[in-house]
Chain A
Amino acid sequence: MKTVVVPLGPFHPLLEEAEYFKLFVEGETVVDMDLKVGYMHRGIEKLCESKTFDQVPFVVERICGICSTSHPLAYVNAVEDLLGVEIPERAKYIRTIIAELERIHSHLLWMGLAGHFIGYDTVFMWAWRYREPVLDLFELISGNRNHYAMMNVGGVRRDIKEDDYGQILSTLDEVRGGTELFIGAVMDDPVIHARTKGIGVLTPEDARAYGTLGPTVRGSGIPDDIRRDDPYAAYDMIEWDICTYEGGDVFAKTAVRLLETVEATNIIRRCVEQMRPGPICADVQTIPAGEGLGHAEAPRGEVLHYVRSDGSSRPVRHKVRAPSLMNIPSFKVTCIGEKIADAALITAAVDPCYCCTERTAAVEKGSDKAVLTGGDLVEMSRRKTAQIRNDLGCVPPVEKLVRGIMAR
């Protein structure tokens, strides 16, 4: 059969790094895959070398708008590793609260986009509706909805006022209620089961071989979490559980993210309860020569920062490794052999990716003739859901009503 190339990309803004995928398809089946990166390259590592140690958190914050706490957190961990400084206890709790709030908003964002891909726009709207109170909370704490600028070498930049505890806890209740509603909806819905179970399976062996991180590896049943393996912030001072799920398919990754959202609300609640008044930043005067390594568990996996100093006010080398770089090559095993209608969902299961499908076009090899556009791909995915819904006899309430009236 003739092989057709389907380009996905080249740049899609809902991922940390923009990529360009080439899907080689035979009929409806994906047979091979190629990947190019570099569309979002802004030279951040080089820019960091021209900034002082205090300015770098603002630069690394802007690597990704969704993980805008994980990168500064990993960076300050690296500098504190270099310094060997112990940060105040209250700063540790505040760092944990901000990191976990970010996990909630990121997972809900992903949940909405995944719903959009399989044609459940209601899920998209509801997930983003529950995400809003979390952003309001960020605005209350830091003054900005995203890019919180909370991390500082030696501690945090801002305190959380005791007057705000009430609003934090009430927002958590609201988010938890919404997430539990989602868990009920996802676990019970036969259409979602049919669309996600057994699709894009990443076996534990492959997950290890590709070095995948975060919910991608935990969805294969491996309890890998940098918060437990090498604790930073307050993760060794509170009780919490690693969320894993067996299966490695899209369903398992969804389940891990939903369970983690609930667990994040527990972590924040415990932090707020255990937090005592005190200083929020250690006194750091100069950064000596040396090198430091720091990491943080971002919503998508481990973020790694390496910093080398020669005793001046600026880092001489700053290396960043984001989790998507490790997770994306696993598409090579998850996408191959799957139907093209599922490819958008499988690639989205690792990380949100919205605009990539918006800009997709299937091009016949050797010519520029477009065969399929991004809209067609989403349409195919939606048609499959409708087909499954029909086969299972699940009729949407409105349609049921219309049919009832017609029968009369």
Chain B
Amino acid sequence: MKPSLWGLKKSPWVYHVALSPCNNCDIEILDVLTPKFDVERFGIKLVGSPRHADALLVTGAINRHVLPRFKELYEQTAKPCVVFAIGSCALSSTMFRDSYNIVGPLEEVMKEIDPNAIIAYVPGCPAKPEAIIAGVVKALNAL
């Protein structure tokens, strides 16, 4: 295993990217950090800058206004960086796919930004805290 991947698997630091979500997956992400689930026990920490992040937690159907900002943000992260698509909106745009302002699900957006990006998917509307934890564990085991 590459040292960079080995380092990534131990206590990943995450950065939360909200790309026009409805706030719900975002509060569930915060929920994972608070006493009931408390993933900080395992060294998973929410950081304030993408430059410190090992993983990006992306929520929301992506609209035209935030897309250039997301591109910039992804370029700032240290590679390899796992991108988690959290919630149905990030997975498939769900009911917003017909909207005039939505550019599409994360997978298609990432094809343009970085075709080799590692993407993990956590479904649910909103994704439950249990599902988020299970998704992170599965993704890290698969690396």
Binding site for B on A (CB under 8 A): 10-16, 18, 38-44, 46-47, 50, 58-59, 62-66, 68, 109, 112, 124-126, 128-129, 132, 144-147, 354-355, 358-359, 373-375
Contact = CB atoms under 8 A, between A and B. Distances in A.
Interface stretch (B3-11, B18-26, B111-119): B18-26
Given A46-B100, A146-B126, A147-B125, A129 B36 contact: yes
A16 B66 CA distance: 16
Contact of B63 (A40, A62, A64): A40
A128 B35 contact: yes
Contacts of B98: 47, 50
A65 B23 contact: yes
Contact of A109 (B22, B27, B96, B128): B27
A12 B101 CA distance: 18
Interface of B: 16, 18, 20-28, 30-31, 34-36, 48-49, 59-61, 63, 65-66, 69, 95-96, 98-102, 125-126, 128
Best-surrounded residue of B22, B24, B28 (most CB of chain A within 10 A): B22
A358 B73 CA distance: 14
Closest 9 CB pairs of A and B: A65-B24, A13-B18, A128-B34, A65-B23, A43-B99, A13-B26, A129-B35, A65-B22, A62-B22
A128 B31 contact: yes
Interface residue SS majority, chain A: loop
A65 B27 contact: yes
Contacts of A146: 24, 27-28, 126
Given A13-B18, A125-B35, A41 B101 contact: yes
A374 B52 CA distance: 14
Given A39-B66, A42-B63, A375-B48, A11 B95 contact: no
Nearest to A15: B23
A110 B135 CA distance: 28
A58 B126 contact: no
A39 B35 contact: no
A170 B79 CA distance: 49
Nearest to A47: B99
A300 to B, nearest CB: 12
A166 to B, nearest CB: 22
Nearest to A145: B128
Given A41-B101, A42-B20, A145 B48 contact: no
A359 B73 CA distance: 11
B95 A63 contact: no
Given A66-B27, A128-B35, A43 B21 contact: no
Contact of B66 (A11, A124, A126, A147): A11
Most buried by B among A42, A46, A68: A42
Contacts of B23: 13-16, 64-66
A167 B33 CA distance: 26
A58 B95 contact: yes
A44 B34 CA distance: 31
